[in-house]
Structure 1
Amino acid sequence: MRGDREIKVIFAVDLYNEGVDIPEINTVLFLRPTESLTVFIQQLGRGLRLFDGKDCLTVLDFIGKANQNYNFTEKYLALLKDGYMDPGNEITNGFSHLPGDCYIELEEKAQKYILENIKKSFQSSSGLVIKIRNFKAHSGLPLTLQNFLEYYHITPEIIYSKNTFSRLCANAGVIDNFNEDIEKTMAGAFKRICQINSYSWISFIEKTLEENNKTWEELSATERRMVNMFYFTIYNSPPEKLNYANSLDALNEISTYPVLFSELKDLLLYLLSTINFVESSKNINGDIPLHVHSEYSRNQILGALDIMDPASMREGVKYIKEKKIDILLVTVHKEEKSYSPTTMYKDYAINENEFHWQTQSTVSSDSDTARRYFGETGQEHKILLFTREYRENDLGASPYVFLGRVRHVRHTGSNPVSIIWKLDEPILPQYLEKLSNVLPS
Structure 2
Amino acid sequence: MEDGFPYLPSGSQIILDRVAQQTVLANIRDQLRVNRKQLVAEVRSYGEHLLEDYLRESGRDLPDVYRKTGDSWTSLIREAGLVDISQAHDVVLASQLNETSELEEDLLRRMTAMLCVDDPERAETYTKLVSEDAPPYAELSDREQILARMLFFALWPNGGGHTSYDAGLQFLRSYPLVCAEIRQLAALGVQRSGYAPKGLGLGMQQVPLYSHTTYRREEVLAALGYFGLGGKTSHREGVAWCEETKTDAFFVTLEKDEKERAASIMYKDYAMSPEVFHWESQNTTSPESVTGQRYINHKALGSKVLLFTRPRQRDENGMTMPYTCLGQLDYMSHSGSKPVGIVWKLHRAMPADVYVEASAVAH
Identity of aligned residues (%): 25
Equivalent residues of 2:252, 2:269 under 8 A apart? yes
Query: Runs of 5+ in structure 1 lacking a partner?
Result: 1-79, 85-95, 106-114, 137-141
SS at match of 2:301: coil
Counterpart amino acid of residue 153 in structure 1: G
Equivalent residues of 2:285, 2:340 under 8 A apart? yes
Counterpart amino acid of residue 321 in structure 1: E
Equivalent residues of 1:324, 1:382 under 8 A apart? yes
How does the TM-score come out when normalised to structure 2?
A: 0.82
* Aligned-partner Cα distance in 1 for 2:308–2:256: 15
* Aligned-partner Cα distance in 1 for 2:318–2:223: 22
The offset of 1:300, in angstroms, is: 0.7
Which of structures 1 and 2 has the bigger CA Rg? 1
SS at match of 2:211: coil
Distance 1:310 1:435, change over 3 A: farther
Q: Which residue matches 2:173?
A: 255
Equivalent residues of 2:195, 2:212 under 8 A apart? no
Q: Which residue matches 1:243?
A: 162
Counterpart amino acid of residue 367 in structure 1: S
Equivalent residues of 1:349, 1:432 under 8 A apart? yes
Deviations along 1:54-108, one digit per CA (max 9) or x if unpaired, are xxxxxxxxxxxxxxxxxxxxxxxxxx6xxx5xxxxxxxxxxx7432325999xxx
* Aligned-partner Cα distance in 2 for 1:218–1:184: 29
Q: Which residue matches 1:148?
A: 54
SS at match of 2:116: coil
SS at match of 1:207: helix
* Aligned-partner Cα distance in 1 for 2:194–2:236: 33
Query: Runs of 5+ in structure 2 lacking a partner?
Result: 15-25, 84-96
The offset of 1:208, in angstroms, is: 2.8
SS at match of 2:360: coil
Q: 2:257 aligns with which of 307, 316, 335?
A: 335
1:385 maps to 2:304: no
* Aligned-partner Cα distance in 2 for 1:287–1:266: 27
Counterpart amino acid of residue 418 in structure 1: G
* Aligned-partner Cα distance in 1 for 2:244–2:183: 36
Equivalent residues of 1:362, 1:415 under 8 A apart? yes
SS at match of 1:435: helix
SS at match of 2:255: coil
1:99 maps to 2:18: no
Pairwise mapping of residues 140-179 of structure 1 onto structure 2 (< 5 A)? 142-161=48-67, 163-175=71-83, 177-179=98-100
Q: Which residue matches 1:298?
A: 217
When structure 1 is superposed on structure 2, of 266-275 and 407-416 the one drifting more is 266-275
Counterpart amino acid of residue 271 in structure 2: A
Counterpart amino acid of residue 132 in structure 1: V
Equivalent residues of 1:182, 1:257 under 8 A apart? no
Q: 1:417 aligns with which of 340, 354, 358?
A: 340
* Aligned-partner Cα distance in 1 for 2:298–2:197: 32
Deviations along 1:150-203, one digit per CA (max 9) or x if unpaired, are 223333232122532222223233448422343322232111101222221011
Equivalent residues of 1:157, 1:395 under 8 A apart? no
* Aligned-partner Cα distance in 2 for 1:323–1:202: 23
Equivalent residues of 2:286, 2:337 under 8 A apart? yes
RMSD: 2.7
Counterpart amino acid of residue 264 in structure 2: T
The offset of 1:426, in angstroms, is: 0.7
Distance 1:221 1:231, change over 3 A: same
Number of residue equivalences: 330
Equivalent residues of 1:121, 1:131 under 8 A apart? no
Counterpart amino acid of residue 220 in structure 1: S
Equivalent residues of 2:278, 2:344 under 8 A apart? yes
Pairwise mapping of residues 7-86 of structure 1 onto structure 2 (< 5 A)? 84=2
The offset of 1:147, in angstroms, is: 1.1
Counterpart amino acid of residue 61 in structure 2: T
1:208 maps to 2:121: no
Equivalent residues of 1:302, 1:310 under 8 A apart? no
SS at match of 1:397: coil
Counterpart amino acid of residue 129 in structure 1: V
Equivalent residues of 2:199, 2:209 under 8 A apart? no
SS at match of 2:256: coil
Q: Which residue matches 1:184?
A: 105
Distance 1:104 1:253, change over 3 A: farther
